[in-house]
Amino acid sequence: MTSRPQPPLAERQPNLNAAAAATFLIFGINGLVFASWAARIPAVTEILHISSGQMGSLLLCVAVGSLIALPTAGLVVGRLGTGNTVRAGGLLAAVAGAGVALSLGAAAVPGTAISLFFLGIGIGLWDVSQNIEGADVEHRLGRTIMPQFHAAFSGGAFVGALVGAGLSTLGIGLPEHLLAITAVVAAATLIAPRYFLPHTPEQPPAAGEATPPRAASAWRDGRTLLIGVVVLGATLTEGAGNDWIAKASVDGLGAQQSTGALLFAVFVLAMTAMRFFGGRAIDVYGRVAVLRASMAAAAAGLAFFVFAGNIWLATAGAALWGVGAALAFPMGMSAAADDPRHAAARVSVVSTLGYIAFLAGPPLLGYLGDLTGIRLALLAIGVPILGALLLAGAARPLRASSAAAGDPALGSSPHPGGAPQ
């Protein structure tokens, strides 16, 4: 395909910096939305008078919505561009969030479930498009920056967790909290994407040039599927922490709801710090080594949290758990986008597989928690953590020549995150 003429670097760089800043903001707002919900899950169970298993069913509504949206998100981005897809997903999430707030105000479980389903669709579209935009910015910058975008998500989640803890302490209701958040979401997702990198519609290949694969063929790419399986295992540890640390602290340690929200905040803060500073480690040691170390830290932190006899040991465990959970998902997104021509389809596949764990896993833990207690049920995620550790080699970067040819061969690469393994 004939490349478009590029303006001089001095003209391109401000646009690239603006795109990076806008992407950073969009990731942060996404995290704020997630934590505003997750940090106050104990309040949801109290408002609706439901058990951990029933709460798991509500979380499953979010998962189903997202898993419907994720496989098609790459196609939507290909048609609309990342900016318009973020706008569509963000506005849908805002409307659905308002529906959740109103349903909780009426203590209506069916209304809450339906609203959470559409919230999942909006978040799914939003998430894939922001990751594709982030990968594009990373490629053009020529250095590892994807973990910092995910640090923005974690930073937004940390702020959301603190706000949730504060509002819970002040006795301010969750419905009012969520309505305020939806207004922020609508404004941010409408304005920020105007600074994204320009979207170029797919063009037919030039004579003699291979046809770029469609989304369906990305599901048949062995490397992409292996990366997805690694991300599936790795993101379960993040999703379980996001959804259940607050609840497990309240149920297992007898903590107050505000204290449970603070432990969730510690988990998120540890993730945020690691994502801000972990990019250098990826450049130096490579994705595979960092991914394996991350999974080992996540397993150790999980064990500390579950078996802690007091709130201080549990807090240390939550922090180590957050450090271990921090880098796996952004590394998976970078690995899927190693070849920019196929990035949309492959990021969509890896996101789908990852979110099966991220969104569907925690509800299943809720059902198990009805039998064992939610704190002990968290030990079940040790199995997929081990699987991610064993299969981490799939994230090894493509050779530059192989990426250009669309070959899934593995090896070292000059691409960000491509230090020799």
- For residue 138, tell me if it sits in a domain: yes
Residue 206 inside a domain? The answer is no
User: Does any domain span residue 72?
Assistant: yes
Name the more confident of 224 and 200: 224
Confidence of residue 418 (pLDDT cuts 50, 70, 90): very low
Q: Indicate which CATH number applies to the domain containing 277.
A: 1.20.1250.20
In a domain, 389, yes or no: yes
Q: What is the pLDDT of residues 300-355, one digit of tens each?
A: 999 999 998 888 999 999 999 999 988 888 888 888 877 777 777 788 788 778 77
Identify whether 5 is part of a domain: no
Q: How far is the CA of 261 from the CAs of 116, 174, 257, 265, 268, in angstroms? A: 21, 13, 6, 6, 10
pLDDT of residue 191: 94
Q: Are 385 and 302 in contact (CB under 8 A)?
A: yes
Give the residue, 157 or 197, on which the prediction is more confident: 197
Q: What is the pLDDT of residue 264?
A: 85
Number of domains forming the structure of the chain: 1
What's the confidence (pLDDT) of residue 92?
95
pLDDT at 216: 55
Whether the CB-CB separation of 397 and 409 falls below 8 Å is answered with no
Mean pLDDT to the nearest integer, 74-89: 89
Q: What is the mean pLDDT of residues 181-201?
A: 86
| Closest of 414, 416, 2 to residue 207, by C-alpha | 2
Full domain range(s) for residue 368: 17-195+215-405
Quote the pTM value.
Answer: 0.70
Q: What is the separation, in whole angstroms, between the first and last Cα of the chain?
A: 32
Query: How confident is the model over 240-299, as pLDDT tens digits?
Result: 887 788 888 888 888 887 888 888 889 988 988 898 888 888 888 888 899 899 999 999
Identify whether 156 is part of a domain: yes
Q: Classify residue 418: in a domain, yes or no.
A: no
Band (pLDDT 50/70/90 cuts) for residue 413 is: very low
Q: What share of the chain is helix, strand, coil (3-state, %, to 5)?
A: 80, 0, 20
Yes or no: say if 237 and 298 are a contact pair by the CB < 8 Å rule. Answer: yes
| 116-154 residue pLDDT tens | 999 999 998 998 899 889 988 888 887 778 888 988 987
Is 1 domain-assigned? no
Distance of CA 286 to the CA centre of its chain: 21
Confidence tier at 215 by pLDDT (50, 70, 90): low
